[in-house]
Structure 1
Amino acid sequence: MSSMPFDYSVNQFTTTPWSFEQDVAHYTEAGIGVIEVCQDKLDADRSKEQLVAAVAAGLAIQSVQPSVRTMIPSAGQPEPKQLPQRLAVLRSCVELVAPFAPGAVFVTNTGPAPGGDMVEAIAQTVSGHRELAAVAADRGVRIALEPLNPISLNQESAIWTLRQGLDIVDEIDRDNVGICFDTWNLWQDGNVLDSLRAAGDRIFLLQVSDWRTPRSGADRRSVGTGAIPTGQLLHAVYDIGYRGPCVLEILSQGVPDSVYDTDLDELLHTNRAALDKSWQTIESRDGIRASQ
């Protein structure tokens, strides 16, 4: 039985070599009860059928990665070019998945600052999220803006600290728009613990993996095998009241020792064990006790 106070969830990018159907089968076999759906894995002709099957198998869809997440065209999501069309694609994702995922969190990013104009990037992010928030509110779901690691600047993101993300969320000023806190993206933010304490209930989603100096834009490692102080961050998020899922999100492309080439069933098991160990280690060291 897990000692960690968060439900263990898996983002489908973590098991990229598997199909959507294989994800459902392997996750449930591993005793995982929560999934982060990646729209890229849905078949356009069978998407509703696939979502029905996931829920029927006992997987709660508590978070979603739309195929288009950025307000501004990015290296990984270059099309469509204009914000209204990008919002239309985002809207269609919310409309598709929300009926199967009550209360779920849809992850978004800013995209890169156009021509280095961060002011314009923030303006488009604010306006886009206000429009998207209304769509999400009508369907009982939420939006979580994700600040990304500086490695993604000028490619996928215009912001790289939690404080920047919180400032944008404050400006958006919608109750159903908050932050996706990804440990890989934010652990090097020098003010991350202070910013977390200031975040309160605006942390909508927690994602985890581990860090080594990356050799590609997608070179994440299993929890406990890198430099991230995972236990400390788990407790910091818990202490501000977060009780949502802890989502394993490992991206591993363009590297010779990709985790995608390993035993993915074992990957699911070892990361859950590593998260439990990370929680317990900090709990023991600091005398922190999670409420039961």
Structure 2
Amino acid sequence: MCDPELTGFSVNQMTVKQLSLPELVKGLVELGVPGIGLWREPVAEYGLAAAARLIRDAGLSVTSLCRGGFFTAIDPAERAAALADNRSAIDEAAELATDTLVLVSGGLPPGSRDLVGARERIADALAELAPYAAERGVRLAIEPLHPMYAADRCVVSTLAQALDLAERFPAEQVGIVVDTYHLWWDDTVAAGIARAGAGDRIHCFQFADWTTPLPAGVLTGRGQLGDGAVDFRWFRREVESAGYAGPVEVEIFNDGMWARDGREVLAETVARYREHTL
């Protein structure tokens, strides 16, 4: 049974990637957590249909699927492959009964310094994919990533940049992700959240903390809630004031957390969510 305090709460499976999908589902049910965020690779490893059945039978909701995107290639063959992969991701999201596919848009192609051109190629890809997703009941959610990722992973770094892309399309087709890890530093984020809410563009809301020093490679530097600099209650107030009433996911990539017992980390994550966000 879902704990009323945890209504709308979701744990992304990457937070405790050391747990198998059945172990995570069992743990979430025991802790009264109603939602789960999924990643394509471990879902494919378990089996798409089997994963959908496992989660459905447990009574959990899939709050998002990560990830699509990587739209910035210049080479025609690479672009075609990216579009095909994203159509597959949309189909997987529909099979898993989630209405939200998170997009990491892609970095600069090798040898390129053209940020504007890269962002326009994202828009071109969205124009092809948004109608396909809409036909399957899936929304595309552009996730702005911290600027340190702009060169190699995501040329969309702010909510304003994400909204400039999303607003070219109907809100029910393309929106944005508010992820505290990537946006906590930006003094325009409140205006961006308000703008996104006014347009009904907030399709996903994720928590992770910012801790230093960052590890080599920086991808696995997200902190457990309460260990760093992020004011989660402030973010929650801003997002809810903007009209968002959807799920809240905790999505953390952290080598230290992954090295621990997954059940212990899962219980700690729920406890930190209660302590630092409610």
TM-score w.r.t. the length of structure 1 is 0.85
Task: Report how far residue 274 of structure 1 moved.
Answer: 2.6
Rounded Cα–Cα distance in structure 2 between residues aligned with 1:62 and 1:279 = 18
Rounded Cα–Cα distance in structure 2 between residues aligned with 1:81 and 1:181 = 32
Rounded Cα–Cα distance in structure 1 between residues aligned with 2:260 and 2:166 = 38
Task: Report how far residue 270 of structure 1 moved.
Answer: 2.8
Match of 1:164 among 161, 172, 194: 161
Task: Report how far residue 244 of structure 1 moved.
Answer: 0.9
Task: Report how far residue 3 of structure 1 moved.
Answer: 4.1
Partner of 1:71: 71
Q: Does 1:55 align with 2:56?
A: yes
Rounded Cα–Cα distance in structure 1 between residues aligned with 2:221 and 2:274 = 23
**What secondary structure, in the 3-state scheme, does the structure 2 residue paired with 1:189 have?**
coil
Rounded Cα–Cα distance in structure 1 between residues aligned with 2:36 and 2:144 = 21
Match of 1:139 among 133, 136, 140: 136
**Structure 1 pair 187–58 and aligned structure 2 pair: CA distance change class (3 A):** same
Rounded Cα–Cα distance in structure 2 between residues aligned with 1:275 and 1:23 = 17
Partner of 1:109: 104
Match of 1:233 among 232, 235, 245: 235
Q: Does 1:30 align with 2:31?
A: yes
**What secondary structure, in the 3-state scheme, does the structure 1 residue paired with 2:223 have?**
coil
Task: Let me know the Cα RMSD of the aligned residues.
Answer: 2.1
Task: Report how far residue 167 of structure 1 moved.
Answer: 1.0
**What secondary structure, in the 3-state scheme, does the structure 1 residue paired with 2:167 have?**
helix
Rounded Cα–Cα distance in structure 1 between residues aligned with 2:148 and 2:79 = 24
**Structure 1 pair 18–274 and aligned structure 2 pair: CA distance change class (3 A):** closer
- Unaligned stretches of 5+ in structure 2? none
Partner of 2:274: 276
**Per-residue deviation, residues 170-229 of structure 1 (Å, max 9, x unmatched):** 234553200011100011112111211121121110010111122232211111111101
Q: Is the 8 A contact 1:30 1:265 kept in 2?
A: no
Match of 2:126 among 129, 140, 153: 129
Partner of 2:82: 86
Q: Does 1:194 align with 2:187?
A: no
- Unaligned stretches of 5+ in structure 1? 74-79, 281-292
Partner of 2:94: 98
Q: Percent identical across equivalent pairs?
A: 30
Rounded Cα–Cα distance in structure 2 between residues aligned with 1:119 and 1:147 = 15
Partner of 1:205: 204
Task: Report how far residue 107 of structure 1 moved.
Answer: 0.2
Rounded Cα–Cα distance in structure 1 between residues aligned with 2:77 and 2:181 = 28
Q: Is the 8 A contact 1:211 1:221 kept in 2?
A: yes
**Per-residue deviation, residues 11-44 of structure 1 (Å, max 9, x unmatched):** 1111111222222222222222111111110235
Rounded Cα–Cα distance in structure 1 between residues aligned with 2:17 and 2:72 = 25
Rounded Cα–Cα distance in structure 2 between residues aligned with 1:203 and 1:276 = 23
Q: Is the 8 A contact 1:169 1:177 kept in 2?
A: yes
